[in-house]
C-alpha cells in the first residue's frame, strides 16, 4: 500500500496565516478586482518599491521628537527607579516606550513592539497584586536634578511623572501620565506564583510641554480560566499609530496588527479562524493509533562445548502510538491578511472543504485505487477549488497576479510534486521561484523578517522565502 505525504498542505496553512481574505469587503464596496494591464516587470517593480518604502519609513522614525524624550526618561530611570512601581523600567508602560525607541533606532523589530503592547511579562517579576502596587504608587513623581532622585507626593488617582525632555533641559518640561488602571481577580494561567489581579484597562500619555507625543490605551477581558477573550492595545506616537486587536472565543480566534502614518496603512497583517475550539471538540478529533511491529536482533551465547559464541536471532514486538489531529474539524475556515502600503496579498481558504477532499485522495492512494499522477491531478483541483490567492494593488483594485497550484514533473529525479505559479492578465504564467528570483531582495528580506516574527509568536517553523 502507498500513502502520500501531502507536502503542499503546510504551504496552504501558511497562506491562511499570511494571506488576506477580504472577499466580503470587496462585495460590500461594490468593487470588482480586475487584472492589471502592466507588464510582469512593472508589477514586480511596484512590489519591490513597497518593500523599499518600508525600509525608508522605519528609518525616518528615528528622528521624531518622541525618541529623544523616551531615551532621556530611560536614562534617568536606569540610575534610580522606584521599586514595584508603574514607572519602573520593567513596567508595561515604560518597557513599551523603550521598545518603540529601539524600533525607531533599528535595534528591534516592529513585532517586538506589538509583543510588548500585549504582554503580561511583568506579572512574573513580582507575585503580588498589580492593583496593590497601583494603589501604593499613585501620586506625583518630580525629578530633582540636585539629588538625582525623585521627589514623590503620594495620593490621587493617577501617576504623574515630571522630568526633563532632554539631557540639556534645565526644567521638568516633559510629563508622563499613567491612569485608568483596573484589574480583575480571576484564575491566572500565566504565572503559577501570581495570585493577584489581571489588567483590564490602562491609559498613558507622554507630553513635551503641552504637546502630546504619545497616547497608549490598553483593555482586555478574560474567560473564567483567565485566558484573554479580547485584547485591544493602541499606541499613538505623533503621526504613527500601532494597533493590536485579539479575539479568542470557542468559535472564533483572530489577531490583527496594524501600523499607520496619518491614517495611511504602512503595514497590516493578521489571521482569524472559525470553527469549534473547545477542548471537548479537540479531544473528539484527536485520533491516537497504536502500531506494532516485529523487530529483532542478534545475540550471542557462549558455548562451553565448542569454546565459541553461538549466534541466535531474538524477536520482540515493538509498539508505538501516533497521534493525528483532524484540523479541519476544529478549524473550519481560515482568513488572514497581509498589506504593505498599497500592495496586498488576498485570498480565501476553506480548510474543511479542502481537507475533506485531500483525505479522500489520500485514502484512494493508500488503497491503490489511483496512481500518483491521479492523486496529483485531484490534489491541484482541490487546492484551486478551495483556495483563492492573488496579489492586488489596493489603490487601483487591480490583480497583479493570481496564484494557482500545478504539477511539476521533475524529469531529472523521475518525480512529480505540487507547487504554485503566478498567472497574469494575458494568460501567461511563471513559477514562484522565477518570479521572485531577481529584483525582490529588499522586499523579500522584510517578508522573511515578518515570517521569523510569526514563527516566534506562534511557535511555528515556517521556511523563509527563497529568492536566490
Whole-number Å distance between alpha carbons of 65 and 73:
13
Host domain of residue 402: 9-54+351-458
| Maximum separation of any 2 CA atoms in the chain, in Å | 103
Nearest alpha carbon to residue 254 among 281, 273, 282, 239: 273
Say if residue 49 is in the same domain as residue 104.
no
306 in a structural domain? yes
Q: Is residue 245 part of a domain?
A: no
Domain assignment present for residue 331? The answer is no
* CB-CB contact of 249 with 224 (8 Å): no
> Is there a single domain that holds both residue 74 and residue 191?
yes
196, 315: one domain: no
> Is residue 444 in some structural domain?
yes
Residue 302 shares a structural domain with residue 420? no
Ramachandran region, residue 84 (left: φ > 0; alpha: ψ -120 to 50; beta: rest): left
Q: Is residue 388 part of a domain?
A: yes
Cα 116 from Cα 282, distance rounded (Å):
30
Reported as type and span, the H/E element at residue 199 is strand 197-208
- What are φ and ψ of residue 160, in 5° steps? -120, 120
Same domain, 100 and 161: yes
Please, are residues 193 and 155 in contact by the beta-carbon 8 Å criterion?
no
Q: Are residues 386 and 430 in the same domain?
A: yes
Are residues 48 and 70 both part of a single domain? no
| Shared domain check, 74 and 46 | no
Residues 24 and 106 in one domain: no
Are residue 48 and residue 82 in the same domain, yes or no? no
The total number of structural domains in the chain stands at: 3
The one-digit pLDDT tens for each residue of the chain (468 residues) are 344 433 333 333 334 333 333 433 444 444 567 877 777 777 767 776 776 676 667 667 777 888 888 888 888 887 776 555 666 656 777 777 778 777 776 677 766 776 777 766 554 455 467 788 888 888 999 999 888 888 889 899 998 989 999 888 889 999 999 899 888 887 766 566 667 778 888 888 999 999 999 999 998 888 877 778 888 889 998 988 998 888 888 877 788 888 888 988 888 877 777 788 777 888 888 888 899 999 999 999 999 998 899 999 999 999 999 888 787 777 777 766 677 788 787 777 787 888 888 889 888 988 889 988 888 889 889 888 888 777 888 888 888 888 888 888 877 777 778 887 877 777 777 776 665 554 445 555 655 665 565 556 545 455 565 544
Whether residue 244 contacts residue 118, with contact meaning beta carbons closer than 8 Å, is answered with: yes
Q: How far apart are the first and last CA of the chain?
A: 38
Asked whether residue 69 falls in the same domain as residue 24, the answer is no
For residue 221, tell me if it sits in a domain.
no
Find out whether 338 and 265 touch, Cβ atoms under 8 Å. Answer: no
Question: Which residues of 276-397 form beta strands (DSSP E)?
Answer: 286-303, 308-325, 331-340, 343-349, 387-393
Which of 207, 240, 260 is the last residue in one of the domains? 207
> Is residue 165 within 8 Å of 69, Cβ to Cβ?
yes
Do 379 and 445 reside in the same domain of the chain? Answer: yes
The β-bridge relationship of strands 308-325 and 211-222 is unpaired
**Joined grid coordinates for residue 118:** 500585549
Of the three residues 207, 242, 258, the one that is the final residue of a domain is: 207
Q: Kindly state whether residue 464 falls inside one of the protein's structural domains.
A: no
Please indicate, yes or no, if residue 360 is contained in any of the structural domains: yes
The residue among 207, 226, 244 that closes a domain is 207
Integer-rounded Cα Rg, in Å, for the chain is 29
Amino acid at each position: 500500500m502507498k500513502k502520500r505525504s501531502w507536502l503542499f498542505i503546510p504551504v496552504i496553512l501558511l497562506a491562511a496565516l499570511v494571506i488576506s481574505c477580504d472577499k466580503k469587503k470587496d462585495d460590500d464596496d461594490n468593487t470588482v478586482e480586475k487584472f492589471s494591464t502592466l507588464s510582469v516587470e512593472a508589477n514586480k517593480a511596484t512590489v519591490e518599491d513597497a518593500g523599499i518604502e518600508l525600509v525608508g519609513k522605519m528609518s525616518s522614525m528615528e528622528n521624531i521628537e518622541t525618541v529623544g524624550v523616551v531615551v532621556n526618561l530611560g536614562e534617568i530611570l536606569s540610575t534610580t527607579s522606584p521599586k514595584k512601581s508603574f514607572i519602573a523600567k520593567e513596567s508595561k508602560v515604560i518597557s513599551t516606550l523603550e521598545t518603540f525607541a529601539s524600533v525607531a533606532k533599528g535595534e528591534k523589530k516592529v513585532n517586538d513592539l506589538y509583543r510588548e503592547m500585549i504582554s503580561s511579562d511583568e506579572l512574573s517579576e513580582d507575585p503580588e497584586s498589580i492593583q496593590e502596587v497601583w494603589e501604593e504608587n499613585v501620586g506625583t513623581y518630580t525629578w530633582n536634578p540636585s539629588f538625582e532622585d525623585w521627589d514623590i507626593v503620594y495620593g490621587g488617582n493617577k501617576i504623574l511623572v515630571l522630568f526633563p525632555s532632554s539631557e540639556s533641559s534645565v526644567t521638568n518640561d516633559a510629563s508622563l501620565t499613567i491612569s485608568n488602571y483596573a484589574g480583575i481577580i480571576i484564575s491566572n494561567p500565566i504565572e503559577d506564583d501570581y495570585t493577584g489581579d489581571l489588567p483590564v484597562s490602562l491609559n498613558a500619555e507622554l507630553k513635551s510641554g503641552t504637546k502630546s507625543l504619545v497616547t497608549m490605551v490598553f483593555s482586555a477581558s478574560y474567560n473564567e480560566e483567565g485566558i484573554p477573550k479580547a485584547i485591544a492595545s493602541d499606541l499613538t506616537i505623533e503621526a504613527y499609530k500601532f494597533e493590536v486587536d485579539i479575539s479568542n472565543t470557542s468559535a472564533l480566534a483572530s489577531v490583527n496588527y496594524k501600523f499607520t502614518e496619518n491614517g495611511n496603512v504602512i503595514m497590516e497583517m493578521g489571521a482569524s479562524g472559525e470553527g469549534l475550539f473547545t477542548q471537548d471538540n479537540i479531544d473528539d478529533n484527536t485520533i491516537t493509533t497504536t502500531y506494532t511491529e516485529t523487530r529483532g536482533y542478534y545475540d550471542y551465547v557462549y558455548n562451553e562445548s565448542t569454546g565459541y559464541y553461538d549466534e541466535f536471532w531474538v524477536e520482540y514486538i515493538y509498539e508505538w502510538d501516533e497521534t493525528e489531529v483532524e484540523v479541519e474539524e476544529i478549524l473550519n475556515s481560515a482568513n488572514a491578511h497581509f498589506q504593505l502600503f498599497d500592495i496586498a496579498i488576498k485570498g480565501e481558504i476553506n480548510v474543511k472543504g479542502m481537507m475533506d477532499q485531500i483525505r479522500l485522495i489520500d485514502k484512494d492512494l493508500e488503497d491503490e485505487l489511483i496512481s500518483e499522477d491521479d492523486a496529483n491531478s485531484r490534489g491541484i483541483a482541490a487546492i484551486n477549488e478551495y483556495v483563492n490567492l492573488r496579489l492586488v494593488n489596493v489603490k487601483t483594485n487591480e490583480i497583479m497576479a493570481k496564484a494557482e497550484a500545478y504539477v511539476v514533473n521533475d524529469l531529472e529525479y523521475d518525480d512529480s510534486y505540487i507547487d504554485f505559479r503566478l498567472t497574469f492578465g494575458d494568460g501567461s504564467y511563471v513559477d514562484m521561484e522565477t518570479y521572485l528570483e531577481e529584483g525582490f531582495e529588499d522586499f523579500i528580506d522584510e517578508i522573511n523578517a515578518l515570517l521569523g516574527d510569526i514563527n516566534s509568536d506562534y511557535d511555528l517553523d515556517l521556511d523563509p522565502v527563497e529568492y536566490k
